[in-house]
Structure 1
Amino acid sequence: MLISQVIGPRRSEIVSAPDPIPTPSQVVIDVLACGVCTSDRTPWREHGTPDAPVRLGHETVGRISAVGDPHGRWSVGEVVTGLGGDGFATKVTLDADSILRVPAGFAAEHVIGEPLADLEEALSRTSIRPGDRVAVVGLGFMGLGLVQLAAARLPGLLVAVDPNPAARARALALGAHEAHHPDELPAAFTSATGDREQRMDVVIEAAGATSALATSSSLVRPYGTVCIVGYHHTGDAPMDMELWYKGATIVNGFSPSRPRTLRAMADGLAMIADGRFSYRPLITHTFALEDVDQAYELMETRPSDFVKGVVVFPEQD
């Protein structure tokens, strides 16, 4: 098998490695697609040496090529997605209890389970009800995915917020009713207006930036909910104490539980199957394995036509 590994800041190489052999609780997949995730950007930028390389990639879809338990529920040839690492490789081992079958008839890059599961699991604890006023702050890949998932819950108003006009246009195409620059929000969205409350019942922060937390705090109504899905990796994220005075509920969008994430993944894959969610408008760039550094570089520069990149592999014989 071939595997890409980071051997220095912003520098990867492809090396040969022995084909993995699954234990009775594992399967091996021939990787068909692996998403390039922002959570791996720091290891790619800062870590790895030739003597201690770093292997990345955890958003995998592939065809099972070996099973550890021949009497288990998985068979060679099935296409699955799931939770696991070292996905920038032609083969990868996954736990048999952490994978799911993908819907038929879709390109591999359009049925990646892990990122959709993260978003759906966060929203499952946010309790958006039909008719609610909802805002999504931050319209990168995660935010645009959340716009789709929120729209499927039939809000009365769905507002998208981002400084990037191209991102705002995408959000409108994906179901948002309005889209605004964070510095140009209608005054009624951020303050009480007599007897008519126009602030948001639910605000979903998806930017991973302190400024987005501040915007989210200003948008939510008293006793509303703020769900923090954006990755705030390092340092302290200050809390606006106005949320305390509003009696707001804060939901941590991260899930540390594999069973919960897998349940959300199953729900997300069902939404793909019946057309309530699509990766098609979100996967804007695909790459070969040898071009993974280019994928990360594009994630850094974020041109207006970029949302998410995926490494795509040819079918193996």
Structure 2
Amino acid sequence: MTYEVRAVVARGKGEPVSVETILVPDPGPGEAVVDVEACGVCHTDLHYREGGIGTDYPYLLGHEAAGIVSAVGPGVTEVAPGDYVILNWRAVCGQCRACKRGRPWYCFDTANATGVMTLADGTPLSPALGIGAFAEKTLVAAGQCTKVDPAAPPQVAGLLGCGVMAGLGAALNTGNVSRGDSVAVIGCGGVGAAAVLGASLAGAAKIIAVDLDERKLVTAKGLGATDTVHAASGDVVAAIQALTGGFGADVVIDAVGRPETYTQSFYARDLAGTVVLVGVPTPEMSLELPLLHLFERGGALKSSWYGDCLPSRDFPMLIDLYLQGRLPLDAFVTETIGLAEVENAFTRMHHGDVLRSVVLF
């Protein structure tokens, strides 16, 4: 059986997205079809539209989603029809060198569905991050479905599928923020705001939010930032040092991903401190630092992939914290929209008007 559903498609580089009819096949071995209930509008989707990730157009956009499993293929035991799931792009293989060493959050051979979703005329679609969830139904690998408590509304639960998890994990997993630490977060959009929240959950004593947009700094304060720095008001490194006794922060999280912000992060950390890069650079960017400074400052320079999360471990735990009132995920949902509003949501996101627009089905 093939399902005809509405979905958001990017047909070419820089072209406005369109809502089109697509064809979703029945799940094959190890696959599942999910009825999408909500999907966040993530900056990664805009990267796909702009050709910043690849050129395998047309793209089926959307990946930050929650929904209900409606069908599974042969051999699937992880989930069953009726399960409420968050979709993830780290379906661990269990067999690669990272998995065999007990580090599945670094899995180097994550699974995607092998079945192909197409346009109505049969043109194959490339699903964003192997998911493609700006669609009423989508086909994924069963391991991309993580069961969570259905008491959490989908517009909130789906955010853990990408941006919020990336920020929380940058602080909790990659940065290993501990009680009493000082933390600076440069860039306080959706991912950076989540990093602020993660640092707060970890018990950081001082959390410094840095951004050019005063609105984002206000939001960061509401999520646990103890101090804010407006990036246009002066020397960001000096400001962070002044707020940390002249030493710099124990952990600095770059949620922008530009050479300028990474350089600020590098020099704004304390000796033997940690830099975490979670903002995604574009291919043409490069970085130059004196090698002596890398040596004499010590510490760790880390990149955070998906917040170094393990969906099967982290998603249910974080949803439980939300349901206990300890993780304010609702604060990230600025607006809920329909499929036809995704293009406008990209514009609002680019202008910094929203933390997250979420498509509700």
TM-score bin, normalised by smaller chain: 0.7 to 0.9
- 1:6 is matched with which residue? 10
**Structure 1: which 5+ runs fail to align?**
none
- 1:75 is matched with which residue? 80
- Whether the aligned pair in 1 keeps the contact of 2:152 and 2:319 (CA below 8 Å) is no
Percent sequence identity over matched residues? 26
Deviates more, 1:152-161 or 1:8-17: 8-17
Structure 1 position 12, deviation (Å): 2.1
SS at match of 1:61: strand
Change in 2 beyond 3 A, CA 1:178/1:120: closer
Which residue identity does 2:240 align to in structure 1? F
- 2:49 is matched with which residue? 44
Size of the aligned set, in residue pairs, is: 305
- 1:140 is matched with which residue? 189
Which residue identity does 2:151 align to in structure 1? G
- 2:100 is matched with which residue? none
Q: Please identify runs of 4+ aligned residues in structure 1 that moved more than 6 A.
A: none
- 1:254 is matched with which residue? 305
Task: Give the TM-score, by structure 1 length.
Answer: 0.86
Work out the CA distance in 2 between the residues paired with 1:95 and 1:269.
22
Q: Equivalent of 1:245, from 277, 282, 296? A: 296
- 1:103 is matched with which residue? 149
- 1:165 is matched with which residue? 214
Which residue identity does 1:292 align to in structure 2? V
Give the alignment of 1:23-62 within 5 angstroms. Answer: 23-46=28-51, 52-62=57-67
Which residue identity does 1:279 align to in structure 2? L
Work out the CA distance in 2 between the residues paired with 1:249 and 1:228.
11
CA displacement 1:174-231 (0-9 Å, x = unmatched) = 11111111344584733799xx654211111111222221221232011000111111
SS at match of 2:329: coil
SS at match of 1:280: helix
Q: Would you say 1:16 and 2:65 are equivalent positions?
A: no
- The alignment yields a C-alpha RMSD, in angstroms, of 2.7
Task: Give the TM-score, by structure 2 length.
Answer: 0.76
Work out the CA distance in 1 between the residues paired with 2:260 and 2:80.
48
Change in 2 beyond 3 A, CA 1:245/1:13: same
Give the alignment of 1:1-317 within 5 angstroms. Answer: 1-8=5-12, 9-46=14-51, 52-69=57-74, 72-83=77-88, 84-112=130-158, 113-115=160-162, 116-123=164-171, 124-182=173-231, 183-184=233-234, 185=236, 187=238, 189-190=240-241, 198-241=247-290, 242-255=293-306, 260-303=310-353, 306-313=354-361
CA displacement 1:59-86 (0-9 Å, x = unmatched) = 1211111122487342322211122411
Work out the CA distance in 2 between the residues paired with 1:100 and 1:57.
17
- Whether the aligned pair in 2 keeps the contact of 1:288 and 1:312 (CA below 8 Å) is yes
